[in-house]
């Protein structure tokens, strides 16, 4: 199963990923992404894998990473 890892030490909280991946991520009061499922490293549903990969590639701080991706 693919999961989205967010490195909070790198994230600057501008919320780009929450716009690109709004099905999975909400924005907290300071603009930092919060997983809608409440987990620290949310599972990426198969239909959202490409969108998640796009969000990872667009993160300006390189704070996002997909882990456990098999394809
Ligand atoms: S795109 Fe990257 S830097 Fe911006 S809020 Fe998301 S994780 Fe943080």
Residue nearest to atom 6 of ligand 1 (CA): 17
* Domain ranges (residues) in the chain: 3-67
Residue 17, number of CB atoms within 10 A of its CB: 26
Q: pLDDT by residue for the chain (71 residues), tens digit each?
A: 999 999 999 999 999 999 999 999 999 999 999 999 999 999 999 999 999 999 999 999 999 999 997 65
- Could you give the C-alpha distances from 50 to 1, 10, 41, in angstroms and in order? 14, 22, 17
Whether 48 contacts 23, CB under 8 Å: yes
pLDDT, position 70: 65
Q: Tell me, in angstroms, the distance from the centre of ligand 1 to residue 14's CA.
A: 6
- The long-range contacts involving 30-38, CB below 8 angstroms and separated by at least 24 positions, are 32/8, 33/6, 35/4, 35/6
Ligand 1 atom nearest to CA at 13: 5
- State whether the beta carbon of 21 lies less than 6 angstroms from ligand 1: no
Query: What is the CATH class of 3-67?
Result: alpha beta
pLDDT, position 8: 93
């Amino acid at each position: 199963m693919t999961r989205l890892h967010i490195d909070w030490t790198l994230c600057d909280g501008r919320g780009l990923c929450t716009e690109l991946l709004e099905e999975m991520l909400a924005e907290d009061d300071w603009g930092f992404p919060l997983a809608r499922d409440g987990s620290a490293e949310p599972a990426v549903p198969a239909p959202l894998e490409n969108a998640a990969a796009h969000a990872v590639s667009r993160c300006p701080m390189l704070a996002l990473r997909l882990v456990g991706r098999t394809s």
